[in-house]
Structure 1
Amino acid sequence: MLIRFAKQPDSTALDTSVKSASTGKLLAPSWDIVGGHKRWRHEQDGYVAPDWTLRYAPVDDVEYARRYIKLLRKRYAQDKAAFETLLNCDELVLGCYCVLGNFCHRELAAIVLMLLGGQCGIQVSIAWPDVDRAWWVDDTGDLCIFEDDAYTDLSDLLIGPFPSRAAAAYYIVREQEAGA
């Protein structure tokens, strides 16, 4: 199975956006995650957040990942067959309105599908967009991200209903150092 990414609208993509997903809503984030992240991003960049985001608490990239993976764990527990259907595609194009290369749930969804595929004996490859960020699963089954210069270990993100080769998978985030 090959996973690629596309920016909506793209007729070849499975729309996984919270805004307009239908068949792809299994992988869509929730409005509170998206609204909180949009609010946080605007505030971080020194802009006024859109009015519609003000009802949500700010959500940084790390908290976004935590909440989104928790949401996918819950959905997987409720409907394993839907995830298995996705894994049985020859190619899956994940669509969203985010600009390719920007932080987006599509990358997290692809990693989760890659981990699940490994548990089902399905080889999953990911055609990454050209970004300064890299996700991978190391030889112990740990989930990692490489970005900037400082590591933060966020354990237990994938513990739960996802099958795992290890007792836990770790999601290692390299956070940008202050002023770097």
Structure 2
Amino acid sequence: MGIDGKGQVFTVSLDKRYVVPCVMNTIKNPDLALKLAMRCNCQGVEVLFDPNPGENSPNLVKDYTPRSILELSKKCCKLGNCRIASVLLWICGSVAIQKFVSDNSLNVTLNSDSYKRQFANEISEEIGSLFENFSRYHDVYDCCFSYGPNDLKYAAEEAEKCIKLLEEFKLSDEKRKELENIEFE
């Protein structure tokens, strides 16, 4: 998607695999982001943009932490919307990696999905493997495969393990320097 300096959209790619990550990471105007996601037939994505989720709204993201997005993915899966559940799994993983970078004040830029995968693997093989396991469900969902609730339940378990390992990972000064010296661009 191309946006000019005034915030006007001048080109749009309607590839659904890229819409939600673009909307979540690029567009700072929630109304515009929601309109774009809805235009691309990403039904259910409106729950990500509710500015005032109520206490009695169990299907809404109450905060934008990896765990709350993972819980929403599980709920979507239980409701039978495996497509949205798989997208939310990817968002959950993406947010978990960005949170790790932010929490550890790392000076790295991860501008693509492949950079996030590479970064997860550079943290540790175990984290990289878990990240790859659950994120692949989103990658191939638009291809010829279709996953059911049991497959996504397994992927959610892998995501939960990955989030836990990222939260518990103790970053040494040596590892910090190593991660910051890798070119992810």
**TM-score, length of structure 2 as denominator length:** 0.25
Q: Please tell me whether Structure 1 or Structure 2 has the larger radius of gyration of its CA atoms.
A: 2
**Is the helix fraction higher in 1 or 2?**
2
> Under a length normalisation based on structure 1, what TM-score does the superposition of the two structures give?
0.25
> Is the strand fraction higher in 1 or 2?
1
